[in-house]
Chain A
Amino acid sequence: MIISIASGKGGTGKTLVATSLALSLRDDYKVQLLDCDVEEPNDHVFLRPEITGTEAVATPVPRVDEEKCTYCGECARVCAFNAIAVVGNNVLTFPQLCHGCGACAYLCPEKAISEEDRETGVAEWGHSNGLAFAHGKLTVGEAMAPPVIRKVKEHANNEGIVIVDVPPGTSCPVVEALRGSDFCILVTEPTPFGLNDLTLAVETVRELDIPCGVVLNRTGVGDSGVEEYCRQKRIPVLLTIPLDTEIARLYSRGITMVDGMPQWKSRFFRLYDKVSDIVDERSRGPER
């Protein structure tokens, strides 16, 4: 089963939930944690995994053989991303704009374009105290996170429980990370910011037809807007975590919640049980 942890808004506690959920389950299940927030991966700060393998993430970009090139300009016409231009007797390529679709190489009438790999990040995997782990790092200065996320997900186990830490937002990196999930836990906080971004995140998971539930973090301050919204939309609130400076202090030192406050382990375990029930019910459900 693949459970993703997402949020819309950043800094609501995705990493806290992902790491503590994974650690709470590892004694009873085979568990893997995939950190797909490749722009700012943080799970490793808490788990300090032993890395046993790495693989560069490469995007294919065009390389022009000027001996064969007749400067006809077809490559520039077919490129939707302005990543290749022909100016007089010069072909200019802009690798950072290239999406690697391969159209220019395939459609060049002179077969003058080949593709070469350009490194945009790295995927790493290993383990931490009986937990399988993988994450990706987008190279600083690179724009496109999805290929790095795809590479991390290639390392997903086919069995047991896979927990995916999703980047914040609602755009392509989020979709890439969420795709294929059986359930999505949306972590939010009880403020107008948390509510606004939760509604966007709910729209995103519904677009992808993934069932979801909410973990409400830092309760005790803020307002009741998120709870009212969840009631209205019939989204289950699976767990609430109070605002507690002790939790924040543990977090700041890179200590997971269940390591610092072991009494929470059973609550994260119950969170998993609730998710598992919803997924089971849905698979038996009337639609399919």
Chain B
Amino acid sequence: MMKEVVVLSGKGGTGKTTIVGSLAALAERKVLADCDVDAADLHLLLSPLEKEKNEFWCGQVAHIDADKCNECAVCQELCRFGAINNFRVDAVSCEGCGFCSRICPAEAITMRDNMAGYWFISDTRYGPLVHARLGIAQENSGKLVAEVRRRARQIAEEQGLDYIISDGPPGIGCPVISSLSGAALALLVTEPSLAGLHDLGRVLGLCHHFGIPAMVCINKYDLNEENTREIECECAGQGVAVVGRVPFDNVVTESIVQGVPLVEYSDGSITREIQRMWHTLSTA
């Protein structure tokens, strides 16, 4: 049966993409999904060959026909997003609700479809990769994530693959919820800082809220072993397994610079720890 593992962290920069890149090299029979559609980086480790590029149309933006507009200002008064000023629409502020287009007495406002980004299907030597690029300053990141996951699931089903491995976005909001809902397992990558501990608590709360089982990987665990113990205590208290303790090592940065997954770049203890973690995850 196919299993979807999503890698999240709450706090940014804890090592999600490094871990996903390594799991890409370790797992067999999988499709990879980059759900960080705001700032996707996984492709930088996997040297993808683009097979498909698709436009992502989502939502609408109001447009005022200046010839019809009689400057009554009803739209400006009713728009709750402050998106209409001086009878012009600020496309960045417009949420696409269409309220203005319905109440304009002069029927001067139309809603135009919005191109919100692109999504791609690529081949990598680790298997297929579904990834995306949200347009700058766009909304709808959650919907683009949903599209990425839908395509990844489709590929997994068609090819009878065992795993979907997703690189999630930071935070706990819209695109994170969209990455997480309905997944089989969340792997939460954290770091032993007070900020990391605080943020882990919130993303664990999110997993609990949506009923998704979670496991934790403590990255750079040796930077503060006291905090590492506190994270382990916190996890034990919540019945959450800590499945990996990855040491701090400059070899991680070197592997990113070389653009290859860490476990292929290094054969040191850091690689063995990630191999052990994948073994635990895949047999869970």
Contacts and interface: CB of A to CB of B under 8 A. Distances in A.
Given A106-B78, A142-B173, A200 B202 contact: no
Given A143-B177, A167-B171, A207 B92 contact: yes
Contacts of A144: 173-174
A203 B176 CA distance: 23
A193 B103 contact: no
B102 interface: yes
B172 A138 contact: yes
Contacts of B171: 10, 37, 39-40, 145, 167-169, 173
B142 interface: yes
Contacts, number: 194
Contact of A197 (B39, B59, B220): B39
24 contacts: A8-B39, A12-B13, A39-B173, A78-B102, A81-B97, A103-B99, A140-B205, A142-B173, A144-B173, A145-B174, A168-B12, A168-B13, A168-B38, A169-B39, A170-B39, A171-B134, A191-B256, A192-B41, A204-B136, A207-B136, A208-B137, A222-B257, A245-B223, A252-B192
Interface string A193-234: 100110010011001100000000010011100000000000
Contacts of B141: 169, 171-172
B2 interface: no
Interface stretch (A85-93, A94-102, A278-286): A94-102
Nearest to A223: B257
Contacts of B139: 171-172
A42 B198 contact: yes
Interface string B163-175: 0000001111111
Interface in A96-134: 99-103, 106-107
B194 interface: yes
Contacts of A208: 92, 137
A143 B174 contact: yes
Contacts of A78: 98-99, 102
A72 interface: no
Contacts of B172: 39-40, 138, 140
Given A9-B12, A140-B172, 6 more contacts: A80-B60, A101-B81, A169-B170, A171-B175, A193-B17, A252-B194
A288 interface: no
A249 interface: yes
A225 to B, nearest CB: 9
A156 to B, nearest CB: 16
B136 A191 contact: no
A215 B15 CA distance: 21
A10 B13 CA distance: 5
Interface residues of A, number: 61
Contacts of B250: 221, 243
Most buried by A among B170, B196, B259: B170
A103 B97 contact: yes
B105 to A, nearest CB: 14
Contacts of A10: 9, 11-13, 39, 170-171
Contacts of A181: none
Nearest to B79: A101
Given A101-B95, A196-B44, A40 B257 contact: no
Most buried by A among B80, B137, B220, B257: B137
A192 B44 contact: yes
A208 B137 CA distance: 9
A223 B198 CA distance: 31
A196 B191 CA distance: 23
Given A42-B195, A171-B139, A102 B169 contact: no
A287 B138 CA distance: 27
B27 to A, nearest CB: 21
Given A103-B98, A143-B177, A170-B136, A254 B194 contact: yes
Contact of B99 (A39, A101, A251): A101
Interface string B187-219: 000011111101100100110011000000000
Nearest to B39: A197
Contacts of A141: 177, 205-206, 209-210
Shortest 3 CB-CB distances between A and B: which pairs? A10-B12, A11-B13, A101-B97
Interface string A159-181: 00000000111111111000000
Given A40-B199, A80-B96, A9 B257 contact: no
Interface string B50-76: 000000000110000000000000000
